[in-house]
Amino acid sequence: MKKLVDSFKFAFQGILYSFNTQRNIRIHFFIAIIVLILGIYVRLSHIEWILLLLTISIVVTSEMINTSIEKTIDLVTEEYKILAKIGKDVAAGAVLISSILSVIIGVLIFYNKIF
């Protein structure tokens, strides 16, 4: 049981570290809160809520994975290396793709409800 509790403790430490040190995660959380409030206001269907929550979790998760990759690369090398740059750029690209997709899904869900 202690190992399970420790696992949750470490996971929450990772979430807090990400939130406290990564500006983009704070931006994603802020936008997510606005979108969730808007979802309550326009009374989303169950399916729309599922899509919205999945989309938000994918963006935040990809941002946290990006942070993990960047920090691991920084641990391995402090000097400029092309492979380190590629690793960081690919991870950032994954965040960009998930963010763009979340905007598209958000527009598809909210457009007819607002306009």
Four-way CATH pick for 2-114: 2.160.10.10, 1.10.287.3610, 1.10.287.1080, 1.10.3720.10: 1.10.287.3610
Instruction: State the pLDDT confidence band at 23, using cuts at 50, 70 and 90.
Output: very high
In tens, the pLDDT along 46-80 reads 999 999 999 999 999 999 999 999 999 999 998 99
Q: Given 48, 63, 78, 79, which residue is catalytic? A: 63
Q: Identify the residue whose tokens are 């691991």.
A: 72
- Give, to the nearest 10 degrees, the angle between helix 2-21 and helix 46-76: 80
pLDDT score for 78:
85
Active site residue 78: no
Has 79 been labeled as part of a binding site? Answer: no
Question: Is 63 annotated as ligand-binding?
Answer: yes
Q: Is 88 annotated as a binding residue?
A: yes
Q: What is the pLDDT averaged over residues 4-13? A: 96
Residue-range domain boundaries for the chain: 2-114
Q: Which amino acid is at 53?
A: L
